[in-house]
Structure 1
Amino acid sequence: MNTDTLRIENLMPNSELPLLVRPLSHGMRLADAAEQLRQLVDSRLLQCGGFVFRDFIVESATEFKAFAASFGHPLLSYEFGSTPRTKVEDGVYTSTEYPPHQSIPLHNEQAYTREWPMKIWFYSALVAQRGGETPIADSRAIYRRIDPRIRQRFSEKGLMYVRNFGNGLDVPWTQVFNSKDIVVVEQYCRTHGIVCEWKDDGELRTRQTCQAVAQHPVTQDWVWFNQAHLFHVSNLEPEVRETLLEILDHEDLPRNVYYGDGSEIEDVILDEIRGVLDELTISFSWQTGDVMMLDNMLAAHARSPFKGSRKVVVAMAEPYSQLHSQNSTL
């Protein structure tokens, strides 16, 4: 592998996640370095979990898209998404469009399903005036740090995610499934192991039982791989949680999560999990033009609150299905 034109170093002290890669000469376009970067990713991504490519010239979402697609897998559409996004181009989406003052906890993309992308890329097109980082964490380290008793309970029981779409409280089902056709939605749910229920008001409720931990199909490493701490009602601000529970039954909350047998997950356990995530968070400032690439099973990502305009776009590729895997832990 020829890396004579690249500088490779740890971005953070004492951590290979993420590795920082920069050109040795000024004015190198990301596209021109793509072959070298692919070789580097092939040799080291499974060890470090993620890269930040910095100081390369990349000036548009189109260039970013071409770079992500150059790794050999078609870019994925955002199906059965959990948050509002806007399509920038085919295979390229805005990062989650939550209000700037809100933080988004660490998570692996689409870990609330049984199918997810193995690769995810972020392109920092515009850096916020303040904040707006995309913190990351090592999913293998999270797995090891979680109390073994909690890990065993989650692994044995699995998790059941319940979602109620629309009604002005969550993303409408037509956007989530990219279709207004009920038949299309029902077919998608059957194919993906999702139980769907049409309520009297015409809105949709889904339930899906998923993994809490998973084994990486290549490295065989075990990783903490779920969004229980994010979907659970305890993730809401106390006043929002109180208001919702005054007007809605638990089963009608926009989203919630239970153990796989339908029993309640204890708030105190989720608080302990959040504490581990906080301890293992790796945060760094974006620079305009940065591209971050993560193995989606080996590294989780988040979003910090920010002020001013911010634009980060995302691409995903290489779908993996636990529905057809022998490594299911349900």
Structure 2
Amino acid sequence: MPVATTIFATNSSIPEQKLLSNSAPFPAVLKPSSSESSDKQSLLLALEQPGGKSLLRNELARSGAVLLRGFNLDSAADFDELVQRLDGEEFPYSVGGEATRQRVLGRVFTANDGIPLHKPIGFHNEVAYLPNSPSRIVFFCQSPAPQEAGGSTLVAHGRTVYEKLVESGHEHFLEELSQKGVRYSKKLAQGGHGSWKSMFQTDDKLEAEQRAEKVGSRIEWLDNDEARFISNPCPGVKINPHTGEKVWFNTIAGIQVFKASTPPGSFDAYFGDCSPFPQDALDACLRILDEEKVAFPWQKGDVLIVDNANVLHARQPSKRPRTVLVSLLK
């Protein structure tokens, strides 16, 4: 059996990497050390051993995101085998989840069936609009986008976003966000993708209200059997329990992207007391995320592990046959 850490090449990189303030590469990249270790079985064996688990855990703690590349993972079944070897149980993405996902097999889901590939998805931390969110998101590229068709999954470190907002003079906004939190609202259709029935998995309005309350939100009923989802105040800033550093953690930027391409009132985000965010702070947030993002072209078989508490992700517009699958872990 190979020693777990020897299957990984030292100092692997991709051209798009950035350097974080703690001098860690972002994302960290793990590639096979030789052609003999560039297969699925070598990777799975390494992740079964304490040394391999420890290496992956340490890289994720330093960088917030780890890209596994070159191990010839081919299918959803291969991806599920890898996920089964990662620490942590499956995060139950069900009642209250905003994205439309279908289980492919095991712990593997489609990433988001509700938003067409030609539309962007803005930066967000996964399920930041509910009290409980996954600790890690694991992405798998089953089919990359056609060349020159975009489709990257973008990442940005929340610590960097927070630091840059402070540097640009928005300390008061961050203090207010820390104290008040953020509320999210979304207009829900009567049926189909993006409906209150799919979000709360019921056709009964009373049951939908009860399920919304259980996940820290409420429903307002509108005309034509439509509804509005409104969250309770959620964190806008979190503190890393290991370092004590403050981290930008929310879906504020993602909401701004949705608002730009949907009818008025479809999406919104505001302080927990329902007062609006200052526009200059929103503009600064979007600018910083654009400057600090990492966008690398997917290659078939790539796996990207993201620390959801510290790193935001987004999606570039793309075209078929791009297929990226996902697994959420507690």
Which TM-score bucket, shorter chain as reference?
0.7 to 0.9
In the alignment, what sits opposite 1:325? none
Structure 2 CA distance, aligned partners of 1:20 and 1:157? 37
Structure with greater strand share of residues: 1
In the alignment, what sits opposite 1:17? 26
1:20-76: per-residue Cα shift (whole Å, max 9, x none)?
A: 111123242132332254221222311111111111122221221231232232222
After superposition, the Cα gap between the structure-2 partners of 1:301 and 1:170, relative to the gap in structure 1 and judged at 3 Å, is same
Q: Could you tell me which amino acid in structure 2 is paired with residue 69 of structure 1?
A: Q
After superposition, the Cα gap between the structure-2 partners of 1:170 and 1:255, relative to the gap in structure 1 and judged at 3 Å, is farther
TM-score (norm 2): 0.84
In the alignment, what sits opposite 1:220? 244
1:1-330 alignment, distance < 5 Å:
2-9=4-11, 10-11=13-14, 12=17, 14=19, 16-26=25-35, 27-29=38-40, 30-35=43-48, 36-79=51-94, 80-97=96-113, 98-129=115-146, 130-146=149-165, 147-167=170-190, 171-199=194-222, 201-208=224-231, 209-232=233-256, 235-237=258-260, 240=261, 244-245=263-264, 253-318=265-330
Report how many residues are paired: 306
TM-score (norm 1): 0.84
1:215-269: per-residue Cα shift (whole Å, max 9, x none)?
A: 234443321011122224x7433xx55xx34xxxxxxx23211211112223332
**Runs of 5+ consecutive residues of structure 2 not aligned to the other structure:** none
Conservation of the 8 A alpha-carbon contact between 2:152 and 2:297: yes
Structure 2 CA distance, aligned partners of 1:269 and 1:143? 12
Structure 1 CA distance, aligned partners of 2:221 and 2:108? 31
Structure 1 CA distance, aligned partners of 2:72 and 2:213? 44
How far does residue 183 in structure 1 lie from its aligned partner after superposition? 4.8
How far does residue 172 in structure 1 lie from its aligned partner after superposition? 0.9
Structure 2 CA distance, aligned partners of 1:62 and 1:294? 20
Structure 1 CA distance, aligned partners of 2:293 and 2:18? 13
How far does residue 163 in structure 1 lie from its aligned partner after superposition? 2.1
Q: Could you tell me which amino acid in structure 1 is paired with residue 317 of structure 2?
A: P
Structure 2 CA distance, aligned partners of 1:308 and 1:170? 20
Pick which of 4-13 and 147-156 moved more.
4-13
Residue identity over aligned pairs, in percent, reads 29
Structure 1 CA distance, aligned partners of 2:202 and 2:72? 37
How far does residue 153 in structure 1 lie from its aligned partner after superposition? 2.3
Conservation of the 8 A alpha-carbon contact between 2:4 and 2:52: no
1:114-134: per-residue Cα shift (whole Å, max 9, x none)?
A: 210011100000011121111
Conservation of the 8 A alpha-carbon contact between 2:156 and 2:311: yes
Conservation of the 8 A alpha-carbon contact between 2:156 and 2:292: yes
Structure 2 CA distance, aligned partners of 1:289 and 1:313? 11
1:164-208: per-residue Cα shift (whole Å, max 9, x none)?
A: 211479601222123334454333322222122334543332221
